[in-house]
Structure 1
Amino acid sequence: MIERRDVGATDVLIDIAYAGICHSDIDHVRATRGKSIYPMVPGHEIAGVVAAVGSKVERFSVGDRVGVGNLVDSCRECKPCVSGQEQYCASRVLTYNQLGRDGRITQGGYSEKIVVDERFVIRIPDAIPLANAAPLFCAGITLYSPLRHWGAAPGKRVAIIGLGGLGHLGVQISKAMGAHTTVLELDETKRADAVRLGAENFLVTRDVAALADLASSFDLIISTVPANIDLDAYLSLLDIGGTFVNLSIPQKPLSMSAAVLLANRRSLSGTLSGGLPETQEMIDFCAENGIGAEVEIITAEQIDDAFDRLTAGDVRYRFVIDAKSIAQDRR
């Protein structure tokens, strides 16, 4: 049994309703990144209801619908923290699998309850069901942040590589921001879903040579796929001043031709999720625009199978654990 953190003066105790399964959960559980600390409780896409608050909590009350993403602490004093970009704090503390500032290993959302400082808790609008809200705290903000930063808006041409757990939210958000949105996928199987979610265009890219017809077609390309792709081929799709944003960590280092970057004054960039103010902004935006994750709700005993299915790409589009089943599974 892992000891639960006590509720401090600025803490919020959350009864977890649902916890989304992120691909990074698999990486940590199966130690594919070599940084796993056991025993481990994964999960950083958390939605639930406030069960108790500390004596100095000001923003939340018992019964509030709330969520937690992949951060539960930071130094709170550095430039990123002061500017609301806690994800770039050198001392940020992840929701699980990390030594916290209190000297204890953080444990995440595959649980019945979690205790988090109120600064790192986000209010969930009533318009979004908790199950559909949970994945927004990682997958949602990870797409919202670059779309907002690089100016997805009317007149902008956005391409999203991969219609998966991240990509299916990116399409919805990009469309709601007013951008002309294209999905780039390896085959036709997700065309109908892409169009239903708001994509104006869907292109099969398995034949890289076919991409030549799309030269200089986009202002922003966001890659959600963890595989190593032909970066030169995709960079060539950017118009003058366009940006390619990488969100994943492929097995091999990124490689490209400098000449492709020089042409059209292209940029290659990356980004981490989002800070707390932007995460609240994101979920309010999603509520206003009817955006939520499309989920398959599972029980605790199905987690291993879900890991295997997610690894194989067999989910549309996010597994979410019903936290009630965790208590039942322990009996």
Structure 2
Amino acid sequence: MTPNPAHDAPAGTHGTTTAAAGPRKIKGYAALAKSAELVAWEYDAPALTGEHVEIEISHCGVCHSDVHTLDEGWGPTKFPIIVGHEIVGRITATGHHVKHLKVGDRVGVGAMCGACLHCRQCKTGHDNVCESATFTYNATHPEGHAAYGGYAEAVRVPAEYAFKLPDALPSDVAAPLLCAGITVFAPLKRYWKPNARVGVVGIGGLGHLAIQFATALGATETVALSTSDRKRKDAEALGASKFVIVKSPEDFKAHANSLDLIICTASSVLMDYDQYLSLLDTNGTFVVVGLPEDSVKINFSSLIMKQRTIAGSLIGGRADIEEMLEFAAKKKVHPWIEKVPMKDVNKAIARLRKNDVSYRFVLEN
């Protein structure tokens, strides 16, 4: 999988040749067993249907969800598996029913690649929680074949989940927005209040984008919450108006009732969630976007006595993603990335396991 000049080719026409739309083998990097190193592997992709597109992948972000899946931290994984759900590339083939995209368009694919589009959830803009949703990997397409992700040379997905990218967003920068970006943008918009004071727990791949989005949306205060001083300068450079160390009970007490909205990107089962809830003011909302691998403990009195709310949020619907991409382009919300050749994917995974990344790896073909 070597760089291809077609990645930067101008957009072409609708449709494709019959040969290009037929069955083909797609090469990628797959795990064959739990926690195993990825190896070069190929799979048989079925013929392109009328509603699908084929994308030649130029970039794919490395998400911690990929590691959770490789390690079966969230449940059984269907091996062999090709992970990766922050995919960017150019369309090389389209089904004959696809009208809004054409060969040559630069598009992105996130953590979902399909939904029924006719249920109540889909019709109200919540297709991300459709009961029939298809995730980009570790899933099965309605037609019966396995879904494989973006650590590969190409991918075939329903056209409705290939999002045309704004010209102002470079491909490498756009990739992490397709999962990390929408994961924090959607709940910020959903639970936004005028003059919001926003806290962000976990200054990593998701958190560093949450700080930027909250600031760009106009938060009165954007507060980075951390257990050490290590990322203070980064948080300030990202736009945080305050950096607060919350480690001891005294730290939490000193900042009690000070925030309206908290986006929690951390996923440790060892977190004292009641302490973090104490930072919320009356009627404040604590949104969980980082998924722990086990149950956590919360005392309901932390909620009841101040009428606080805990909410979960799963990526975002199609309209949310389109809005987020345009907003990021306009406000110059850019992830901090380190690019790695696709062939060195195992080096990126190994470093991510050790949290040795600032702040997002992006694989490049």
Shorter-chain TM-score category?
over 0.9
Q: Is the 8 A contact 1:6 1:115 kept in 2?
A: no
Q: Is the 8 A contact 2:73 2:293 kept in 1?
A: no
Matched, 1:296 2:338: yes
Residues 253 and 34 of structure 1, relative CA distance in 2, 3 Å threshold: closer
Q: Which amino acid aligns with 1:11?
A: H
| Matched residue SS, 1:244 | strand
Return the structure number with greater helix share: 1
Q: 1:242 aligns with which of 284, 307, 313?
A: 284
In the other structure, the counterpart of 1:172 is: 212
Please show how residues 7-86 of structure 1 align to structure 2 within 5 Å: 7-86=48-127
How far residue 305 of structure 1 moved from its aligned partner, in angstroms, is 2.3
How far residue 300 of structure 1 moved from its aligned partner, in angstroms, is 2.7
In the other structure, the counterpart of 1:110 is: 151
Matched, 1:223 2:264: yes
Q: Is the 8 A contact 2:74 2:293 kept in 1?
A: no
How far residue 87 of structure 1 moved from its aligned partner, in angstroms, is 1.0
How far residue 88 of structure 1 moved from its aligned partner, in angstroms, is 0.7
Matched, 1:182 2:212: no
| Matched residue SS, 1:315 | coil
| Matched residue SS, 1:268 | strand
Q: 1:272 aligns with which of 314, 318, 338?
A: 314
In the other structure, the counterpart of 1:207 is: 248
| Distance in 2, Cα, partners of 1:247 & 1:85 | 16
Deviations 1:79-137 (A, max 9, x none): 11112211111111100111221111100111111111111111110111100100101
Matched, 1:160 2:200: yes
Q: Which amino acid aligns with 1:258?
A: F
Gaps of 5+ in 2: 1-41
| Distance in 2, Cα, partners of 1:39 & 1:111 | 13
| Distance in 2, Cα, partners of 1:314 & 1:289 | 28
Q: Which amino acid aligns with 2:126?
A: Q
Q: Which amino acid aligns with 2:348?
A: A
Deviations 1:243-296 (A, max 9, x none): 111112223312122211112210111110001111011010000001121111
| Matched residue SS, 1:2 | strand
Stretch moving more, 33-42 or 106-115 = 33-42
| Matched residue SS, 1:265 | coil
Q: 2:299 aligns with which of 244, 257, 267?
A: 257
| Distance in 2, Cα, partners of 1:107 & 1:7 | 15
How far residue 78 of structure 1 moved from its aligned partner, in angstroms, is 0.9
| Distance in 1, Cα, partners of 2:342 & 2:364 | 7
What is the TM-score with the length of structure 2 in the denominator?
0.86
Q: Which amino acid aligns with 1:225?
A: A
Q: Is the 8 A contact 2:128 2:316 kept in 1?
A: yes
| Distance in 2, Cα, partners of 1:292 & 1:206 | 29
Matched, 1:134 2:158: no
4+ aligned runs moved over 6 Å, structure 1: none
How far residue 152 of structure 1 moved from its aligned partner, in angstroms, is 5.3
* Number of residue equivalences: 322
| Matched residue SS, 2:45 | coil
| Distance in 1, Cα, partners of 2:48 & 2:193 | 40
| Distance in 1, Cα, partners of 2:72 & 2:238 | 34
Gaps of 5+ in 1: 324-331
Matched, 1:94 2:94: no
Deviations 1:225-255 (A, max 9, x none): 1102111111111111001111122233121
How far residue 31 of structure 1 moved from its aligned partner, in angstroms, is 2.3
Q: Is the 8 A contact 1:152 1:177 kept in 2?
A: no
In the other structure, the counterpart of 1:322 is: 364
Q: Which amino acid aligns with 1:169?
A: L
Q: Which amino acid aligns with 1:245?
A: V
Q: Which amino acid aligns with 1:194?
A: A
